[in-house]
Structure formats: structure tokens, C-alpha cells
Structure 1
Amino acid sequence: MKWEGNRESDNVEDRRGSGGGGGFGIGGRSIGIGTIVLALIGWGVFGINPLTTIGVLSGGGGAPTTQQGPAPAPPANDRQAKFVSTVLADTEDVWSNIFAQGGGRYQPPKLVLFSGAVGTACGTGQSAMGPFYCPGDQKVYLDMSFFQTLSRELGAPGEFAQAYVIAHEVGHHVQNLLGISGKVDGMRGRVSQREQNALSVRLELQADCFAGVWANHANQARHILENGDIESAVNAAQRIGDDALQRQSSGTVVPDSFTHGSSAQRVRWFTQGIQSGSVKACDTFSAQRL
């Protein structure tokens, strides 16, 4: 992936080493790390908000935590942080243009780098949860050690696979700005668990498609893709499908419990986005076939 020398975003906060502190509570009761791993490794790694996913599993909602003051930007000599900042800047450029073409104005999210735990408007985030987006403060949260997990444990190496992760979470921010995630959250308490899972799958697949839309526009404007990059992202999508993760963790696949989509579905919708470059082509909620 060609990214060095491109613009870096000013919307990156470095909270590594600051310590998130506190326990993780949902609905007034504690949720152990085993539940977090089950929810996010067993049923999917990426999510619009893993705190919401766990809240659904436990029947409660996460209480907001006290937000910290402004955090510094990452050190200038931190190459991995420069990569994250550059990818974020690229999503800002792409989505600003797309929103402007539709007569709107894009409000970019902040991206928070953390280690261990971090306070968010959605509750206390943990590294074991993987990257996530919090609509309450419109921030993407990332412990960059996840990139090692993605490569070594999940078998999805490559910088463009990492960029796909970031673009997926930014896709959730786009959904939030468009009011899509709010409508889905508003329906959760009125439908069955099975229907909640099905809504989550459509939300996640749309974020995959939005990640593909970003890649399409970024490559047209800045020629960021190199040989093997698309295959790297497709491999990542395959590795984090619900069926693949369930098969890896328990040996049993339970489709009704899917919250992110199967490997084939995640690949299909990312591919749909990168081939079409169209937001309209990412309407997973009207699609009869996922």
C-alpha cells in the first residue's frame, strides 16, 4: 500500500500509557473478560460498538464514563501511528468529497490510540475488544497491538488489511452521521434476539461495503493500491467472518448467532464497495441476498 508522504490527519489522539482505569460494567453488573472474548472473538472481531454487542448479550446498556481532557498527537517518529494518521486522513478526504457531492458536510471522527483500557462515552473500552467505534463521542478507538493479532493469530497480514480495519470503523461513523445506526439501535429492544443479530449483520456488512467505497475513491485519487493489497483485505474479511471465527473457537457454526456476517458475505460486500465506489450500492438493508 502506498501511503508514505501523504497527508496525515490532525484528528488522532494518543492515549497510550495514560491508562483507562476502572472496571467494565454493563447494566449495573460486571462483565468478565471471558464474555468480551466470547462476544468479539467467537462472534466477530470488528463492530460498530463492541460495548453495544456485549450489552445486547447481557440485556443491558453501557453507562457513559467520564471523558478525559485533550490528548496529545502521536510522536512524529512513530511509523505505525503515522500510518494510522495517514489512512484516517485519506478517509477524511474521500468521505468529505462524497458528502459534498450529496450536498452535505462530513464531520470526521477522532481516532484514539490507547493501550489496555480507555474511557469512552460508551463505557470503558478494553484492548481485548478489538477496534471499535463509539457513537456517543464519535470516536474510533484502536489499540495498535490488534494489528499483531490480525496478522499472527488471525492470519491476515499486510498494511492494506490494517487500513481495511480502520476504514470499516470509519464506515460505522458514516452510518452514525447518516442516521442508519441510530435507527438500528432504536429497533433492538423491539425485536427478538435472532432479529437483533440479523440487523447487526446488515449493519456490519454495510460498514464493510463503505470500507470498499473508500478504497475505490482513494485509489482513483491517489493510486494507493499495490499488487496484493486487495487480496490482503479480502483475506482479512474471510478470516473475521462469523462462521470462520466460530469454527476456530468452538468447532461449531451457529448462523442465527451471527452478528457480523459470514466470511463469504463480508468478502462480497467489501468487494461490492471497492468495485462500485457507490454508497447506494451498499444498501444491505434492502438487499434480499446478503
Structure 2
Amino acid sequence: MRLRGVRRSSNIEDRRRMGGGARVGGIGGVGLLIVLAVGYFAGIDVTPLLQGLDQQSAPTTNRTLSPDEEEAGAFAAAVLGTTEQVWNRILPDQAGLEYTPPVLVLFSGTTSSPCGGASGATGPFYCPADEKAYLDTEFFATMARQLGAGGDFAAAYVIAHEVAHHVQNELGILAEVNRYRQTASQTEANAATVRLELQADCIAGVWASYVEGLLEPGDLDEALNAARQIGDDTLQKRAGRVPQPHTFTHGTSEQRSRWFSNGYRSGDINDCDTFSARSL
């Protein structure tokens, strides 16, 4: 992705200098991230994998970021800047709404949010309570090394997906789905969450269609591969389990990549209505 000269967003809250977060026994940050990222994306309880390990909190210090962390932060700010340009332009046109961009919180190890404690191990997420997206930039390395989803546009897709949740929040979709999930059964709530996540993939695809001029050869394949690698069925297989559709919360690999492609081809968020789709 060609980001040289692209405006970097100022809507960044960088907490990474606050310290290295927590370690669990001998696993450490990256290992813990791998274990719990699979649990987060696949809806798997990984608590048994962590039982018996001692919690050790690293001291909170005003530490200096490594060159890799500085680069990851600059990359995230540039990608966030592209989302602001895209949604400032097309949300009024396609939905009749002015766009208020979210803040992207960068952290290392652990942090807090109104939606609960956050850990790099839980993967990136969006919190509608404070309208902020949370990202441990170490997750990019985990995607590349452990999930087989490397590449700068794969990382950009992750950011665009979380921003897509903010777009859903702006449209009132998140609140509506959350109200439904409060009274639904677990299986019904999971099914609604899948539609929510696939819609976010589609909305991320819409963003990708509007930054096409920044794409390099192979970038689109990187995003599609990332979508496939973090499908619920693929992650459950990687965890040694037979895929259980009733536990899915993000959609299958095929569904995630297809809905991203749908948004990319269409360029219109109105074509991302997964909730009206008879078949996902």
C-alpha cells in the first residue's frame, strides 16, 4: 500500500509508552497474543490453556518505543487518515450522515476501555461506549507469523474493519443489534453477530474500493487472505476443533472474503445489508 505522502490522522491515542503490560507465566506477550487471539476470533474458551500459569505484571514505565513500534504507529495513523477521507466523502452521499471519525487507541500488552479490560491477546476491537477502536500493533506480527495473514494491506484491512464498526455505530446498527442480543438465545445472538461482522467486512471492502489508487500489486489478495485466515471455521480447525457453526461469531473464511469482495466491487454501503440477505 502506497502511503508515502498520505496524511496521518491526528485521532490517535498512543498508550504504548505507558509500559509493557502483563506477562502470563512463561508465555509472554506474543505467545499470549497467539493463544487468546485464536480464542477471540473463533469463540473458543482458552482459559484451560492458561490455568496454572502465574500472572506477572510488568512495571508501568514511560518507555521508549522501538523503531518497529514507531513504524507501526505511523502506518496505523496513515491508514486511519485514509478512512477519514473516504468516510467524510461517502457517508453523507450514501447515508445522508456527516461522519465523525473514531479515535484509534494504540496500546501494548494491556489497557482499559469502557467495554472492559483490553489486552493485545483479545485482538483489535471497537468500543461503542467511547467510540474508540483499540489495537495492540503487535497483532500485525501475529497475523503474519502465526495466522498466515501477512502484508501491509492485510494490516490495513484490520484497521478498516474496526472503523467499519464505527460506521455501523454512526448508522445506529450496533445499538439495534445489541438490543436484540440482550433478549436472544446464545445461538441467535451469535448469528446476529456474524451478520454484523460480515457487514463490517463489506464496509471495509467499500473503503478499499475508494483507496484503490494507493494499492500495489498483491494488496487486494493480502486482504482477502487475511479475511480467510480469520474465518471462524479456519480458526477452529487451527485450534484442533471441528468447526461448530452455532458458535461462530464472525463468519466462515469464505463468507468473510466474499463480503469484503462484495463491498470492494460495489463501493456502496447500501449493498452491505447482510441482515436482509437470505444467504450469507
Which bracket does the TM-score occupy, shorter chain normalised?
0.7 to 0.9
Deviations 1:198-221 (A, max 9, x none): 0000000000001000010122xx
1:20 CA displacement:
9.3
Q: Which residue of 1 aligns with 2:40?
A: 40
Choose from 177, 181, 189 the match for 2:174.
181
Q: 2:140 touches 2:155 (CA, 8 Å); kept in 1?
A: yes
1:93 CA displacement:
0.7
Q: 2:41 touches 2:250 (CA, 8 Å); kept in 1?
A: no
Q: Which residue of 1 aligns with 2:144?
A: 151
1:79 CA displacement:
2.2
1:121 CA displacement:
1.3
Q: Which residue of 2 aligns with 1:253?
A: 243
Q: Which residue of 1 aligns with 2:6?
A: 6
1:253 CA displacement:
0.8
CA distance in 1, matches of 2:265, 2:37: 33
Q: Which residue of 1 aligns with 2:224?
A: 234
1:119 CA displacement:
1.3
CA distance in 2, matches of 1:152, 1:81: 19
Q: Which residue of 2 aligns with 1:91?
A: 83
CA distance in 1, matches of 2:273, 2:2: 29
The alignment-based identity, stated in percent, is 51
1:99 CA displacement:
1.9
CA distance in 2, matches of 1:122, 1:39: 18
Q: Which residue of 1 aligns with 2:56?
A: none
Q: Which residue of 2 aligns with 1:202?
A: 195
How many pairs align? 250
CA distance in 1, matches of 2:234, 2:168: 26
CA distance in 1, matches of 2:158, 2:114: 21
Structure 2 alignment gaps of length 5 or more = 23-32, 47-65
Deviations 1:100-135 (A, max 9, x none): 224321000000110011111111101100111110
Query: Are residue 108 (structure 1) and residue 67 (structure 2) matched?
Result: no
1:289 CA displacement:
1.0
CA distance in 2, matches of 1:135, 1:184: 12
CA distance in 2, matches of 1:190, 1:178: 22
Q: Which residue of 1 aligns with 2:269?
A: 279
Q: 2:19 touches 2:108 (CA, 8 Å); kept in 1?
A: yes
1:250 CA displacement:
2.1
Query: Are residue 167 (structure 1) and residue 160 (structure 2) matched?
Result: yes
Structure 1 alignment gaps of length 5 or more = 23-32, 45-52, 55-73
CA distance in 1, matches of 2:116, 2:43: 20
CA distance in 2, matches of 1:226, 1:20: 34
Q: Which residue of 2 aligns with 1:225?
A: 215
Q: 2:232 touches 2:249 (CA, 8 Å); kept in 1?
A: yes
Structural RMSD (CA): 2.5
For residues 34 and 213 of structure 1, do their structure 2 counterparts lie closer, same or farther at Cα, with a shift above 3 Å needed?
Answer: closer
CA distance in 1, matches of 2:202, 2:111: 28
Residue type at the aligned position of 1:114 = F
CA distance in 2, matches of 1:115, 1:20: 6
Q: Which residue of 1 aligns with 2:185?
A: 192
Q: 1:20 touches 1:124 (CA, 8 Å); kept in 2?
A: no
- TM-score under structure 1 normalisation? 0.81
Is the partner of 1:17 in helix, strand or coil? helix
Residue type at the aligned position of 2:83 = T
CA distance in 1, matches of 2:144, 2:184: 37
Q: 1:205 touches 1:261 (CA, 8 Å); kept in 2?
A: yes
